[in-house]
Amino acid sequence: MSDKLPNLIDPLLFAERRSILEGTLKVAVFERLSDLVLVTDTDVRIKVQFAKEGKRAVVFGTIETMLELECQSCLQALSWPVDLSFKLGVVSSLQEADQLEIDCEPLLFDGEKVSLTALIEDELLLALPDYPKHGYDCIGQRSSKDADFDDQNQSETNNPFSVLAKLKKTGE
């Protein structure tokens, strides 16, 4: 086990060794993800284990972080907790990928080393909502606040009328 996460890995070799990698990366190291979040100085906690299931090398792990997304309704920050687990089966061809069990995504490995960072980033991107949005009526809340503000402004500028209205009331 190591605190440092290597970037390029040989999944077959790691599976033979039953390696476990654990560590923390900043959101900033994930270029594609960084474009989609408001804050990149966030820790991403990662644990990846390599094993063999029969002859198949498998990679499974967990990723935990809190991403700051932009709500697509009100354009304000939206905290999006991520706590996901994944399982990948190492395959050398697409035909082989078709034979994987249903709970296993394929990790295509052609002998060149695999980028662990890219692998983690793919999993994170899959976990993001297509349309991040607050779980409550954030637009409604904002526009009702704006309306209150307008009311206040109006009662100040239209003071003579409100005085008149008061006079009318007391006159009755």
43: Cβ–Cβ under 8 A, 6 or more apart, which residues?
A: 24, 25, 26, 27, 65
DSSP-assigned letters across all residues of 91-158:
ESSHHHHHTS-TT-EEEE--SSPEEHHHHHHHHHHHHS-SS---SS-HHHHHHHHHHHHHHHHHHHHT
Smallest gap from Cβ 98 to Zn ion, in A, equals 41
12/74 with CB nearer Zn ion:
74
Smallest gap from Cβ 71 to Zn ion, in A, equals 3
74/97 with CB nearer Zn ion:
74
Footprint on this chain of Zn ion (rule: CB under 5 A): 71, 73-74, 134, 138
- Rounded CA gap, 4 and 23, in Å? 6
Smallest gap from Cβ 120 to Zn ion, in A, equals 27
Smallest gap from Cβ 69 to Zn ion, in A, equals 10
135/160 with CB nearer Zn ion:
135
1/136 with CB nearer Zn ion:
136
